[in-house]
Chain A
């Protein structure tokens, strides 16, 4: 079975063992940083930084390729539009299109930024168990006054977890409903408009029933939406502080560069 993009790859590397909060913070900061970088030296430095982290994580290269590949066309399109539609010194001329040197530079930088975002995101999700990420996010937002929104950080975390777990069930249900309606003579190709309610109504009813059953099972297992603990023990170790310190140094270095 083809593994989905951004899936978790279990391991025991130093990156795997970092606290999810450290990693989430790092990815957020590096994400901001990629869009602050404005010279090629910065890009090279960032790539070197990523390269070291990837080596430390011991993750196979295909994890990162898989993350970038589906977006490649989109990134290439951005690159092209930047190259052709930025004013500057043209280095060639195709019909009415004149790619400029400035455009080429801008396009390359923008493409690099997107690729960095994907790479760092892949590094986070491949080296961290999704529920550890949820747990980390829960801890990070716990001090925020979420009560204003009428939810607690615990509910938020459970919601994230359930949506991740419930998603495949949703697709399965779409397929099943489609098969059931096809069996009863619905033609999804000829009659796309008429088939929408024929698919949507039983689907919605099924999903609501599934959700009700799930809610009952959750309540039966003691869920109350209030304070709860987690199997994932989160504790910031020396390595986490070291990693954050090094990250801070690196960011400073890039900004000065």
Chain B
């Protein structure tokens, strides 16, 4: 679906952002990408969406090379990207107009545009804010609106670049819920974050460091990889707790570490058994 072949990219000042990166993203996958500041993960997001072109190697999106300008409209229709700051993603005066921006660029007819906008509003639960200015929305609603703006173009693959890092935890969770719902509906999700906690349910996690893939695998194996700590990442607190309990001989199954509720239930179960 999306394939990176030996992609390299350096910033104008010569600092390498991506080095010889190979990556395949399959249809319907939920991929988490994690890395520290300057690890190249945002550059990777731009490469995956075709907004940046590789200086060496190539990025193939559904068989289309991102360096081919004639394929760009088709690529934009296929991959959508949501950024960190909702404020600098708004172009419309009202939420409705903002959502219309993408379909308008695709030259849809006014009726089709309305349909796309209505669909995106329903998907994100923003119907009642239709005529509000996106600037008056809260951070979480604003990010939902930015997501809806991308959804209105009906992309099959969605890239999220640190979308929750400017939100309070509660709004972050509600945005995450929408993203998970979209994944269940069959969208391919690439989720970039600082926060390992958000990647518990991912199909695959990629750990980036200095423009390279350091670790790659299922969350279960990534979280238990000791090198994660040497790379400077904090494990989610529930995973950490489970690991500590393990050294005391108490085994908590991986599935139960997803939320405090399931974790507590498991502990109670174990407590009752003894």
Contact = CB atoms under 8 A, between A and B. Distances in A.
B144 interface: no
A28 B98 CA distance: 29
A222 B73 contact: yes
A143 interface: no
Contact of B110 (A131, A220, A232): A232
Given A161-B91, A168-B135, A219-B51, A231 B153 contact: no
A213 B85 CA distance: 9
B87 A220 contact: no
Contacts, number: 96
A187 to B, nearest CB: 29
A223 B135 contact: no
Nearest to A158: B91
Contacts of B92: 131, 161, 165
B102 A221 contact: yes
Given A10-B131, A214-B91, A223-B101, A229 B76 contact: no
A229 B113 CA distance: 9
B223 interface: no
Interface in B102-137: 102-111, 113-114, 117, 131, 135
A212 to B, nearest CB: 9
A130 B73 CA distance: 28
A219 B89 CA distance: 10
Nearest to B99: A231
A210 interface: yes
A224 interface: yes
A205 interface: no
A217 B131 contact: no
Contacts of B109: 229
B93 A221 contact: no
A165 B150 contact: no
A217 B153 contact: no
A232 B114 CA distance: 9
Per DSSP, chain B at the interface is helix
A131 B93 CA distance: 8
Contacts of A219: 51
A222 B91 contact: no
Contacts of B15: none
A147 interface: no
A169 interface: yes
B135 A220 contact: no
Nearest to B75: A222
B76 A222 contact: yes
Contacts of B73: 222, 224
Nearest to B69: A224
Given A131-B97, A230-B110, A217 B89 contact: yes
B77 interface: yes
Contacts of B104: 228-231
Given A169-B88, A213-B85, A221-B105, 18 more contacts: A130-B93, A131-B94, A158-B91, A164-B93, A165-B93, A169-B135, A213-B89, A214-B88, A217-B91, A218-B91, A220-B51, A221-B101, A224-B73, A227-B107, A229-B113, A231-B96, A231-B103, A233-B110
The 9 tightest CB contacts between A and B, nearest first, are A222-B105, A231-B100, A213-B88, A222-B76, A233-B110, A221-B102, A217-B89, A231-B113, A220-B81
Interface of A: 10, 130-131, 158, 161-162, 164-165, 168-169, 210, 213-214, 216-224, 227-233
22 contacts: A10-B131, A131-B92, A131-B97, A158-B91, A162-B91, A165-B91, A169-B88, A213-B83, A216-B46, A217-B83, A217-B88, A220-B81, A221-B101, A221-B105, A221-B150, A228-B104, A229-B104, A229-B108, A229-B110, A231-B96, A231-B114, A232-B110
